[in-house]
A and B are shown apart, each in its own frame.
Chain A
Amino acid sequence: MTAAATVSGIGRPRLGKALPGAVWALLLLTPAFVSLASVSFYPIVNGLYLSLTNTSLITQENEFSGFSNYVQLWGDAQFWNAWWHTMWFTTASTILETAIGLGMALILCEAFKGRGLVRAAMLVPWAMPTVVTSKMFSWLFDGQNGIINYILLHAGLIDQNVNWYGSPDTAMTTIIIADVWKTTPFMALLLLTGLQTVPNSLIEAARMDGAKGWITFWYIRLPLLMPTLLIAGLFRALDAFRVFDLVYVLTGGGPADSTETLSTLSYKVLFSTLQFGYGSAVSTAMFVTEGIIALVFCLYLIRLIRRAQ
């Protein structure tokens, strides 16, 4: 802060016309504030208000209705169905992506020929539009001509074609696989930069003392990587919780609502039934749940840091 304080002197009027630094700061921050306030904060507040009304674009009503939407939500089996699916998707994909990503990062940490190529290839799933990923997975996992069925069948792992995303038993699994495919490599690259900050001297010293590979991993690398792992996990979980594109394009929430998530349910209530009041209650409930997830993660992280000190 002291460095910033001395620099602030540049704002002192030089020609009489020039503005002081504080005014400049305000001026330069204004566009960003206006943008975020109008596109992010306003909708959240407005959504909160809408959730307390019976707004519908069909009946053209918008009367204040108190907490009746939330009462309805509490007893809505569809909402809880979507809520559990979203929690399951978030938990499963975050754990898988963090674990597999860590494995990939450990491999990339070693020196081998062609490492640059592997690292470059890992950005492909990340850069691809999610809609394209969904379409690609619906082709890969197609129940009739999908290559995955063909490979599994010829490897003898299944004895008849699996109707992956066409059957309520396997649809959610297929979506999780698609998400893990798309996000894990990027997770690995993030964890890799974390791993590379672990001082080599520590690992060397442990090896001198005769520690085996997995011991140095368990007692040196993993504890030092823990904060990175948790923060990456948090960001991943918050992102996974909002899943929309993948589900909407791959299954549309079906079959038989077996993949309905909070985002797809909100979208349907908002834009198919045009009940903006009730739809806003669904998305507000989602916002609250996401806040709780973030809070739990942060509290755990703080406890972990405190214990380390």
Chain B
Amino acid sequence: MKDRRSPLQTIAIYLGALLILVWSGGPFIWQFSTSFQLDKALTSGSPSLIPDPFTLEHYYNTFVEKQLHRYVWNSLVVSLATTFLCLFVGSLAAFALSRLNVKGRFGILMVILSVSMFPQIALVGPLYLVATNLGLLDTYTALIITYLALGLPLVTWVLFGYFETLPREIDEAARMDGVSIPGLLWHIILPMSLPSLVTTGLLAFITAWNEFLFALAFTSNIDRQTIPVGIANFTNLYYVPWGDIAAASAVVTVPLIVLVLFFQRHIIEGLTQGGIKE
């Protein structure tokens, strides 16, 4: 196709690509740069992309004064637990739907998908009452149980889609060899699905890591609050600490970006499968 393009079209395409690049990366690069600049420089009226002078003051503030690491720890506990539970429960369900003769399995899949579209604000009130009655406010458990249900639809859909691509002859062969049903899932299907498990795991992790509404409602102190709640409350009494906020943003976003870039191809494939193709 390349040879058929006029020079004008080529220029337009590169210009468009540059625009997309600036659009996607620009704001975060500015935020990243902000995190290394002194408050004085930020409010001087002549912004500069290169930090001058360079400072780590904001990183010091976020960790020492605002205790960011405690939020990070809470988020890690909740997100990792959610990820493993989602993968466990989701792969059981996806396996049953894909490999066992479940009546009305497409109906079940549609119900699972539509659940993910429920407005979360309609869930938070009743769940808050339940959590209060069970004494689960300010616990990791309440968040993990909730996030499991939030992540489950996508995980089940993507894993189901992947299991469907695995040839059924394998099942037959395993059955001849006397492999039981749980054995088929554990020893044969799951080891073959590692790439998909990594992607779906990452999606579940990001869902839990970024969730704000339930964390805001269910937790009220730094012992259990997750990063989004911590950052939302990042304010000083008399001025907005832009530099500190930028530093915290960088700390919680950069690892995520690295992970996503590393697995980008799988993520796009996985999400397309879950959200659109069927």
Taking Cβ atoms with an 8 Å cutoff, the residues of A that contact B are 3-5, 7-11, 14, 18-19, 21-22, 24-25, 28-29, 31-32, 35-36, 38-44, 46-47, 50, 103-104, 107-108, 110-112, 114-115, 117-132, 134-140, 142, 144-145, 147, 150, 181, 184-185, 188-190, 193-194, 207, 213, 228, 231-232, 235, 238-239, 241-242, 244-245, 248-249, 262-263, 266-267, 270-271, 276, 279-280, 283-284, 286-287, 290, 294
Contact = CB atoms under 8 A, between A and B. Distances in A.
A235 B272 CA distance: 12
Q: Is the interface of B mostly helix, strand, loop or mixed?
A: helix
B206 interface: yes
A144 B30 contact: no
B16 interface: yes
Given A107-B16, A244-B212, A279-B125, A7 B99 contact: yes
B126 A128 contact: no
Interface of B: 1-2, 4, 9-10, 13-14, 16-17, 20-21, 23-25, 27-28, 30-31, 34, 42-43, 45, 47, 88-90, 92-93, 95-97, 99-102, 105, 108, 112, 115, 117-129, 145-146, 148-150, 152-153, 156, 168, 171-172, 174-175, 178, 180-182, 184-185, 206, 209-210, 212-213, 216-217, 227-229, 231-232, 234, 240, 242, 245-246, 249, 252-253, 256-257, 259-261, 264, 267-268, 271-272, 275-276
B144 to A, nearest CB: 11
14 contacts: A7-B101, A9-B175, A28-B185, A40-B149, A123-B260, A127-B256, A128-B253, A129-B227, A150-B47, A185-B24, A231-B276, A262-B119, A283-B121, A286-B119
A24 B253 contact: no
A238 to B, nearest CB: 5
Contacts of A228: 276
A123 B264 contact: yes
Given A18-B181, A286-B122, 19 more contacts: A7-B99, A18-B180, A35-B152, A39-B146, A47-B126, A115-B17, A121-B25, A125-B24, A129-B231, A130-B228, A131-B231, A136-B31, A138-B240, A185-B23, A190-B271, A241-B119, A245-B213, A245-B228, A267-B121
